């Protein structure tokens, strides 16, 4: 037994612990004092009670402790039963809260950038677009707020016009047409439109002149079409610097007409109606390419709106710069897959003081090609060298596209430019080469009107073949390839023979001065496979001769599958990585 001889101070009274019993004498209700052995003793008894045996006190204390433990267990059980539903709800809430938080924090961390330098087609994620009616209708309201109702069209005629053309090699499907057509007027408006399309995942198809031949503006994914027709101004002409800043919907013909008053000249000259935006997109050239080069040689700088609406300028106006990547040339020929061109700074040259045109006829297409090769080897700086075969010349006569009747034999059109003395010297030298390569005739223009008449035949090549259609079921397939100059006679001769054996109405024309020629084929649905085979063999020959599947038309939708045959799978994979790089161009919604 432990003896306690201490005093416990209690507010208002003093308790005295009994030296033997371990209890205190007090007038308060009984309390129990725990001891080291795990039991307690009643600390007070009334004066008349008899002392109880220790054993009895032990049983009584044990019984009270058990009662208290059972009561605690009962209360705990009741509490557990009552709060089980609440606890379950709390646990579910906690799980949902932490899961949401974890997802949010995870989304803040950007995806790991691919370590490979190329992206194969098998690894490309499917492009996700939202072209649901509700999404497009909601976007319509946003577009109207930016451009005004008059510049957001859902007219059926507009939608049809922006879906394809009669001269395109790509036959569009019935469901391939835009939901609406937009007509912005500034770079800032294009940026706002692209931000909406990026947020809503709406595919975009750019459109300027609509003269492309390989299905470039066919809206295969629907969405919206951005027509740049309201962006057709010359923004700034720098006469002394020989450059001009223009918007994308000005045509090259109109541009040269305005520049002629200043004695200046923009050389690239593709088909009539072509506009600067599309010329940049396809990297075109034209009849002046032999002397002046292609579109890539005449663009100094571009203002481009990227897929997410970001506006960039590729460089300043100097003729040369080694500041960073040449983004200008990267966008030239990208056909809208990297961004939308809204301004272009173009190089100019001085308008030639003297020009002339000559026409020469040959017995065979191969002898005509041999003549062109000789002219190039001699280094004669002619402005242009164009070839039309006998079929093309017959179509021009039958369609009465020009005012004169032509000899229906392979014909070369020469364009000369320079000083009056220089032009005369060029004509004399070329005439000698024509005679040496079995040329049948050589005629040069005696004045301005005759020069325009002679050259007009070359510009009417496509339209003359289209006029030969037998009915609405006929289609025109216009395609091109280019090879090194030494290989030109070989490929033209074999392609001409293949066309003749096919039985199709098919002609050859082109800018043969730089090894580029075109095939124009008329066919209907029954003849489609034959036409496809002719084009396929023509392209295959060009690649085998170290040439290209397209010299100036661009890839479009028709020649996508030919790219890897020319460049190799790894090169195409590298192009795919550039076009899908999230750091450079965002998630581009533009159709390939």
* pLDDT attached to residue 77: 65
Backbone angles phi, psi at 45, to 5 degrees: -135, 155
**588 pLDDT above the threshold of 60:** no
pLDDT value of position 51 = 56
For residue 407, what pLDDT is reported?
92
Q: What are phi and psi of 57, to 5 degrees?
A: -60, -35
Pairing of strands 311-313, 299-305: antiparallel
Same fold, 128-351 and 354-558: no
Query: Cα(447)–Cα(392) distance, rounded to whole angstroms?
Result: 25
Task: State the pLDDT at residue 456.
Answer: 81
pLDDT of 97 strictly over 80: no
First-to-last CA distance in the chain? 98
Q: Do 301 and 340 contact (CB within 8 A), yes or no? A: no
Cα 516 from Cα 327, distance rounded (Å): 26
Q: Where are the domains of the chain?
A: 7-51, 128-351, 354-558
Lateral strand order in the sheet of 505-510: 441-444, 354-361, 411-418, 384-388, 505-510, 516-523, 475-482
Average of pLDDT values for 454-481?
87
Q: 347: alpha, beta or left, given left = phi > 0 and alpha = psi -120 to 50?
A: beta
Buried b (16+ CB within 10 A) or exposed e, 189-215: bbbbbbbbbbebebbbbbbbbbbbbbb
Strand partners, 8: 15
pLDDT band at 20 (very low <50, low <70, confident <90, very high): very low
State residue 217 phi and psi, 5-degree precision: -110, 20
Q: Is the pLDDT of residue 587 over 60?
A: no
Q: Which residue has the higher pLDDT, 512 or 57?
A: 512
φ/ψ (deg, to 5) at 246: -130, 165
Identify the CA nearest to 515 among candidates 544, 552, 478: 552
Q: What is the pLDDT of residue 31?
A: 43
**CATH 3.40.50.620 is held by the domain 128-351:** no
Give me the torsion for CA of 246, 247, 249, 251, rounded to 10°: 0
Average pLDDT over residues 491-514: 92
Distance CA 325, CA 314 (A): 9
The answer to whether domain 354-558 has CATH 3.10.28.10 is no
* Predicted pLDDT of residue 11: 42
Predicted local distance difference test score (pLDDT) of residue 577: 86
Give residue 183's pLDDT. 98
């Amino acid at each position: 037994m432990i003896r306690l001889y201490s005093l416990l101070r209690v507010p208002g009274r003093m308790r005295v612990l009994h030296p033997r019993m371990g209890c205190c004498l007090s007038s308060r209700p009984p309390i129990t004092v725990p001891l080291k052995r795990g039991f307690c003793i009643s600390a007070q008894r009334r004066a008349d009670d008899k002392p109880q045996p220790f054993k009895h006190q032990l049983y009584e204390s044990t019984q009270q402790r058990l009662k208290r433990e059972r009561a605690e267990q009962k209360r705990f059980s009741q509490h557990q039963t009552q709060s089980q539903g609440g606890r379950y709800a709390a646990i579910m809430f906690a799980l949902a809260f932490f899961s949401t938080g974890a997802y949010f924090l995870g989304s803040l961390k950007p995806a790991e950038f691919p370590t490979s330098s190329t992206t194969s087609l098998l690894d490309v994620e499917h492009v996700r677009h939202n072209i649901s009616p509700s999404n497009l209708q909601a976007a319509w309201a946003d577009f109207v707020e930016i451009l005004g109702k008059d510049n957001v069209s859902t007219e059926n005629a507009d939608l049809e016009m922006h879906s394809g053309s009669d001269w395109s090699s790509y036959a569009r499907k019935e469901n391939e047409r835009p939901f609406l057509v937009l007509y912005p007027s500034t770079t800032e408006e294009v940026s706002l439109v692209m931000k909406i399309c990026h947020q809503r995942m709406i595919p975009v198809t750019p459109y300027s002149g609509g003269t492309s031949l390989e299905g470039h503006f066919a809206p295969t994914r629907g969405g919206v079409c951005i027509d740049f027709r309201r962006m057709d101004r010359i923004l700034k002409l720098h006469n002394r610097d020989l450059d001009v800043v223009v918007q994308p919907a000005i045509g090259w013909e109109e541009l040269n007409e305005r520049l002629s008053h200043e004695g200046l000249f923009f050389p690239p000259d593709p088909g009539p109606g072509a506009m600067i935006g599309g010329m940049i997109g396809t990297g075109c050239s034209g009849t002046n390419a032999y002397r002046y080069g292609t579109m890539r040689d005449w663009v100094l700088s571009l203002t481009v709106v990227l897929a997410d609406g970001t506006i960039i300028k590729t460089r300043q106006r100097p003729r040369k710069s080694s500041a960073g990547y040449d983004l200008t040339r990267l966008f030239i020929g990208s056909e809208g897959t990297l961004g939308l061109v809204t301004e272009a700074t173009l190089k100019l040259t001085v308008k030639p003081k003297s020009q002339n045109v000559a026409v020469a006829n040959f017995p065979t297409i191969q002898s005509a090609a041999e003549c062109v090769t000789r002219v190039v080897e001699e280094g004669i700086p002619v402005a242009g060298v164009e070839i039309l075969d006998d079929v093309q010349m017959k179509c021009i006569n039958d369609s009465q596209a020009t005012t004169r009747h032509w000899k229906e034999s392979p014909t070369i059109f020469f364009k000369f430019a320079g000083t009056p003395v220089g032009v005369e010297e060029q004509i004399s030298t070329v005439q000698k080469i024509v005679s040496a390569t079995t040329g049948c005739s050589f005629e040069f223009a005696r004045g301005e009107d005759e020069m325009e008449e002679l050259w007009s035949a070359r510009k009417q090549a496509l339209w003359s073949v289209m006029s030969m259609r037998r009915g609405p079921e006929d289609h025109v397939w216009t395609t091109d390839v280019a090879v090194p100059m030494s290989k030109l006679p070989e490929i033209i001769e074999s392609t001409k023979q293949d066309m003749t054996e096919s039985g199709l109405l098919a002609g050859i024309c082109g800018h043969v001065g730089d090894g580029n020629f075109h095939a124009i084929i008329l066919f209907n649905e029954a003849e489609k496979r034959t036409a496809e085979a002719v084009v396929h063999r023509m392209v295959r020959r060009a690649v085998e001769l170290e040439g290209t599947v397209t010299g100036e038309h661009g890839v479009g939708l028709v020649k996508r599958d030919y790219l890897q045959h020319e460049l190799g799978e790894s090169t195409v994979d590298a192009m795919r990585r550039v076009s899908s790089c999230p750091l450079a161009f965002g998630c581009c919604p533009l159709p390939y």
